[in-house]
Structures are given as C-alpha cells and as structure tokens.
C-alpha cells in the first residue's frame, strides 16, 4: 500500500441549481467525474479521496446536485467535481433538461476544468447515453479520460482484451483508460497518480 496521494479532502459545496455553483479559481484545477447513475461515481471518489464524503448506493437518479470536493495533492490544491448521474430510464424529460442546464452552466467557460473523467461500467462499455455525453463534452472543448468501474465483476485475465475491445468499438479517451474497482481498491492509486501528474502540466 502506497502513501495516499490525496490528503485533507473535504466537501466544499453541493449545488442543485446554476445559481449555487461556486466560482472557479484559476489556481485550483478541477477534475469532473461524469457517468451514468449507479456507475460508481461516488464510490470511486470516496476511494480516491480516502474518505466517505460522497453518498453511495442512493436510489438511481437521486443525486441531482453537483458536488465539489476539495483535496490537497503533491501538485497542490485541486477540486474533484461530482456531476449528477444521467441515463436513468425513469427520468422525465424535465429532469433531463434540468441536468443539461446545470451541467452546461458549470462547464461553460470553466477554464479551471482540466479534465472530465468519464466513468464507464467495465461490464457494459459505452451505452447510448455515454456516446452522446462523449460527443457533447468534446464539443465543449473539454478533455475526456475514461475510467472503467466495477472491474471486480470481470475476471482479471480478461481485463486487457475487454479494454481493447471497447477501444476498438470507438470509445474515446485522452489516454489509455484506467481499470478500477472501488470495492477492491484496484487501480485507484494509478488513477490518483495519473490525475496529479495531469494537473501539473
């Protein structure tokens, strides 16, 4: 077990509407975490920050807020930004519009937003909404880095070929996607190291 890369993590803000968003600070890089409801965003953030800050296992589609977490790293202060989940079938059109409105308001002209970690269930790969999300984030001029979740559900011997298959199917990622399991704490250190290195350059 290596030394934890993020220290002194705390929740900084919970925002349900654009008016509640906290202003960016150009000295504090932000890394957003996006993905379908239930993909494991909150669990991954907790594993990464080594703290139970994000609520996990909530009713799918319930987290409608953007949550800002502030953490210290060897590269200095940064923010991990938990975006509301999408793709929950039972959501109404109004709720989808609400999601779009809040997330757009956050991303628009957000220079401190350096990277969007797109969480994808390792068992499923990209589903329809995921492809739309990837296109939309790229059209906003933001970099996407894919993080596979729940890898403990797939035999380790199949990890490489599974990842290669998804890449061949047209998944977009700024760098080779990292394979993680929040439950088994696998790939979490590699992800942390990648992120800290990424915000430094």
Does residue 173 bind Mg ion (CB under 5 A)?
A: no
Does residue 67 bind Mg ion (CB under 5 A)?
A: no
Q: How many residues bind Mg ion (CB under 5 A)?
A: 3
Q: How far is the CB of 196 from ligand GDP (least distance, A)?
A: 21
Does residue 63 bind Mg ion (CB under 5 A)?
A: yes
- Calculate the alpha carbon distances from 197 to 5, 75, 76, 151, 182 in Å: 11, 8, 11, 23, 21
- CB 64 within 8 Å of CB 16: yes
Q: Encoding tokens for residue 19?
A: 């008016």
**DSSP of 84-126, one letter per residue?**
PPB--TT--HHHHHHHHHHHHHHHTT-TTEEEEEEEEETTT--
Q: 86 vs 198, which CB is nearer to ligand GDP?
A: 86
177 binds, among Mg ion, ligand GDP, none (CB under 5 to 8 A by kind): none
Per-residue x/- track, 25-44, Mg ion (CB under 5 A): ----------------xx--
Q: How far is the CB of 43 from Mg ion (least distance, A)?
A: 8
């Amino acid at each position: 077990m290596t030394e934890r890369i993020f220290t002194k993590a705390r929740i900084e803000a919970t925002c349900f509407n654009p008016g509640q968003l906290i202003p960016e600070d150009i000295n504090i890089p932000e890394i957003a975490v996006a993905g379908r409801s239930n993909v494991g965003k909150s669990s991954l953030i907790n594993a990464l920050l080594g703290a139970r800050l994000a609520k996990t296992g909530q009713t799918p589609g319930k987290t409608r807020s953007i949550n800002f977490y502030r953490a210290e790293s060897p590269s200095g202060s940064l923010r991990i930004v938990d975006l509301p989940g999408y793709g929950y079938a039972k959501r109404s059109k109004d709720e989808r519009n609400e999601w779009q409105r809040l997330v757009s308001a956050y991303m628009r002209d957000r220079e401190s937003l350096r990277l969007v970690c797109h969480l994808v269930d390792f068992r499923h790969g990209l589903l329809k909404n995921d492809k739309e999300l990837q296109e939309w984030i790229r059209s906003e001029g933001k970099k996407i880095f894919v993080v596979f979740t729940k890898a403990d559900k797939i035999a380790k011997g199949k990890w490489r070929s599974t990842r290669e298959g998804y890449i061949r199917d047209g998944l977009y990622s700024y760098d080779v996607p990292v394979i993680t399991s929040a439950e088994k704490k696998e790939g979490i250190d590699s992800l942390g190291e990648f992120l800290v290195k990424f915000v430094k350059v």
